[in-house]
Structure 1
Amino acid sequence: MSLYRIGIIAACLLLGTGGSVKAQSVEERALQELRADSSARTRFVTRATMYGVGYANVFDTYLSPQEYKGIDFRISRESMRMTKWMNGNVSLQSFFQADIGYTHNRVDNNNMFSGLANWNYGLHYNFPITPNFKLLAGGLIDLNGGFAYSLRNGNNPAQARAYINLDASGMAIWDLRIKNYPISLRYQINLPFMGVMFSPNYGQSYYEIFTLGNWNGVINFTSLHNQPSLRQMLTVDFPVGRAKMRLAYLWDAQQSKVNDIKTHTYSHVFMVGFVKELFLIRDKRKK
């Protein structure tokens, strides 16, 4: 890539998205350079950190026959970049999120804490439909670990959450302008179709598992028949001054029926955060 192209990209990243229409046109030319040059695209990284709050519905028959409803606090960290694979048409995504929920039952005589950390890592093949719109399809490794804790239960007050899935994933990304104001819309859906899950048997205590060593039946194969779950996310990226902000809506539906234990966690979360666009510099001395 020529020094002229590198200079345009560097100037764009320093100026950000704020400023005059002229500055925005420079940014557009820089992004066109990135799209046209495959070696540049593989070094262009988008990272976003978001914080959110929303609604949670938690149900776990190991702890209680009742649903618990309340508030969900969430944080997420995402990184996306193009790779060299398949002529530069494959993108790499890493997405981490963690949430804490505080819920209460219908008669309001008990409360429950719940939490889950989730990490997705995978690849998507990019299908450009128009210069400003593209579809992506691929797969992800989906790691999950967390807990649910009932404040009033005596013998079995807590339930562990641990499962690994392979997800089918799809996206639609649309870059548009509203009166010369650039906006980027994205919709993503992740569907787990195969995995393994840790779950005690109904009525079995964790003392039996970890102290007495009764591990029979606690590791289970999962698929759509016993873990019909889904994650959906809609994001909007837009410049504010020299920064780029992101608004997001996340619908996270995790549910399972394993070892005669039914669980679900339904979350509707609105998130806000900032997006950073980085151009990685390679060391030419490294082979």
Structure 2
Amino acid sequence: MRKITALLVILIGLSGTISAQSDSLQANRFVTRAITYGIGYTNLLDTYLSPQEYTGMEGRVVRETIRMTKLFDGNVSLQNIFQANLSYTHNRVDNNNTFAGLVNWNYGLHYQFRINDNLKLLAGGLSDINGGFVYNLQNSNNPASAKAYANIAASGMVIYRFKIKNYQFVARYQANVPVAGVMFSPNYGQSYYEIFTLGNSEGVIKFTSLNNQPSIRQLFSLDFPVGCTKIRLNYLWDIQQSKVNKLKTHTYSHIFMVGFVKDLYIVKSKNGNPLPAKLRAY
């Protein structure tokens, strides 16, 4: 009888281990992916090209993937965001215009503090890699300015799930603040011909921090079902600014976006209910 009892205890322990491993695998299979498109207002300044501010319209696309990992007992999520924007702006007297574009990639981790099944607080860090251009239609000597910078950014997030009648909603606020990085910037009055042809490149790579690159990207989103589809509404408030090599730049964008959310590799629990909160990244 003792041998049978011991065998049962061992089997129960093994089943618990297998179940925990299964949950971990399920957590890594539960992926939330979204793509949104939007348009909004932007304010642009680049004193390498002009001392004037330019304002106009901006279009943007954002693709995001978020999932849980096995790190720290399955409490860490991985977020991957790719976004690209194009803008067309004009100066105050409306006698000159610019085209501008930027590609941004964020990749990082957040530790999830689960307050309850519906509320999560996330804290972590992201890589923040950016590349783009500003082209002034009237300038002859220096018609364009290149944008290239990379940062380590601190990131925080609040995710709240709630229901209205039988419909599940997910609200989120996220803020990313670059803490330290590097930026390419010509010196004041220096041409790209001097840098890339003549080789006068001293000082064009600068270290950045909150002191000379005080920037923040803030995102408000709301996910909700419409029939068999899950819709996402975004409001993106993007503030990118710098003061490097006696040159000032800023881009202030307010973008309203709409798109679709898809949950991939969802595994249901045995009783048919959705996965527990611990296994959901979002």
TM more than 0.5: yes
Match among 119, 123, 133 for residue 109 of structure 2? 123
Alignment partner, residue 160 of structure 1: 146
Matches within 5 A, 1:87-236: 87-236=73-222
Query: How far has the Cα of 1:181 moved from its partner?
Result: 1.4
Rounded to whole Å, the distance in 1 between the matches of 2:101 and 2:118 is 38
What TM-score does the superposition give when structure 1 sets the normalisation length?
0.85
Q: In the alignment, what sits opposite 2:241?
A: 255
What is the deviation of 1:192?
0.2
Alignment of 1:4-43 (within 5 A): 37-43=23-29
Corresponding residue number in structure 2 for 1:77: 63
Q: How many matched pairs?
A: 248
Structure showing greater Rg: 2
Q: Could you tell me which amino acid in structure 1 is paired with residue 167 of structure 2?
A: Y
> Structure 1: which 5+ residue stretches go unaligned?
1-32, 282-287
When normalised by structure 2's length, the TM-score is 0.86
Report the aligned-residue RMSD.
Answer: 1.5
Secondary structure in 1 aligned to 2:51?
Answer: coil
User: Secondary structure of 2:183's match?
Assistant: strand
Aligned partners of 1:225 and 1:76: how far apart in 2? 28
Q: Structure 1 residue 39: deviation in Å?
A: 2.6
Alpha-carbon distance between aligned partners in 2 of 1:85 and 1:190, rounded to the nearest angstrom: 22
Unaligned runs of 5+ in 2: 1-18, 268-282
Secondary structure class of the residue paired with 2:194:
helix
Structure 2 residue aligned with 1:277, among 239, 263, 275? Answer: 263
State the shift of 1:280 in Å. Answer: 7.4
